Amino acid sequence: MKNVALQKASLSVMLAVVLILGLVTPAFAATQLPLKVVEVIPGGLIKLQIANMPSNTEFTVRMGPAGSKGAGGYVIAHFDSGGGGTQEYWFEVHANVRSLSFIDVRVEGGTYFGYTTFDNTKVLTSGGGTVSPTPVPPSTGGPTTPSVSGSPNLQVVNSQKGGWVKVLFTGLPANKTFTVRIGMAGTRAANPLGYIVAHFDTDSLGSQAGTFEIPFPLRAQSRLDFSIETTGAFYFVSFDNVDK
């Protein structure tokens, strides 16, 4: 009788443990984050929108071949989610997957993760459309000042060959959102001939500086055009792709 009682007691304990685990385990289950690729510069950069992020969480970003879900992929960045919620980030396409037509990007941190696939063959703009920039032969002695009469001044402060360019903006219209593009010399980096590399908002003074990465497909060019554009205004400047 004692053995039967002990067996029943053991069975009761086991059932209780199973029930507890069933209740506790979901609390530690991974939560999937919605990811949306907003912009793509083929072989260069992608802009990724990440939603429902927890606050103050360290995330790792990876890239891998399509179908891999980015699991165990090449690490391209780490970032802190700060206030959490929905945010957008620019990431460089990893050198080991730049030649692939489709790439999986993965974001993971804590018990959160998300992944999505993007087309690495076409430029994707924030409006959702895709375009294929058409290179234009470099012009000789093209304009190096903004195209608008009495326009704000765009001055290239310094640059790293094939890496980045720092530009000083003065007298821009206040409280405007500008789109920044870089393209081959002679194109004025106008849409759709320029690769979108960033967006920025002007303050009440309209004077500020920014550093922008040169898109991968243009890094070997000796001279490039840089433009900024907002509703009703377009400015550009040409610069030598050298260490300055």
Q: Which CATH architecture has domain 33-130?
A: Sandwich (2.60)
Band (pLDDT 50/70/90 cuts) for residue 139 is: very low
Which fold would CATH assign to domain 153-240?
Immunoglobulin-like (2.60.40)
Q: What is the pLDDT of residue 64?
A: 96
Cα separation, 178 vs 182, whole angstroms: 13
Mean pLDDT over 116-131 rounds to: 74
pLDDT at residue 38 greater than cutoff 60: yes
Band (pLDDT 50/70/90 cuts) for residue 7 is: low
Tokens 């590399």 belong to 197
Q: Is 0.75 surpassed by the pTM of this model?
A: no
Q: What's the burial of 238, exposed, middle or buried (CB within 10 Å: 0-12/13-18/19+)?
A: buried
Sign of CA dihedral 125, 127, 130, 131: negative
Query: What are 189-240's pLDDT values in tens digits?
Result: 888 788 888 788 887 777 788 888 888 778 888 999 999 988 888 899 999 9
Band (pLDDT 50/70/90 cuts) for residue 151 is: very low
- What's the CA angle centered on 232, arms 172 and 138, to 5 degrees? 80
Give residue 52's Cα distance to chain centre: 17
Residue at 131: amino acid letter? V
Helix and strand counts by DSSP (H, E) for the chain = 1, 17
Per-domain boundaries in the chain? 33-130, 153-240
Q: What percent of the chain is modeled with pLDDT above 90?
A: 25
Cite the beta strand spans of 69-111 per DSSP E: 74-80, 85-92, 102-109
**CA dihedral in degrees (149, 193, 199, 212; nearest 10)?**
-90
33-130 and 153-240 share one fold = yes
* Most confident segment among 102-106, 143-147, 153-157: 102-106
Tokens 């070997």 belong to 220
Of 42-46, 53-57, 93-97, least confident by mean pLDDT is 42-46
- The answer to whether the beta carbons of residues 211 and 191 sit under 8 Å apart is no
The H or E element that residue 5 is part of is: helix 2-24
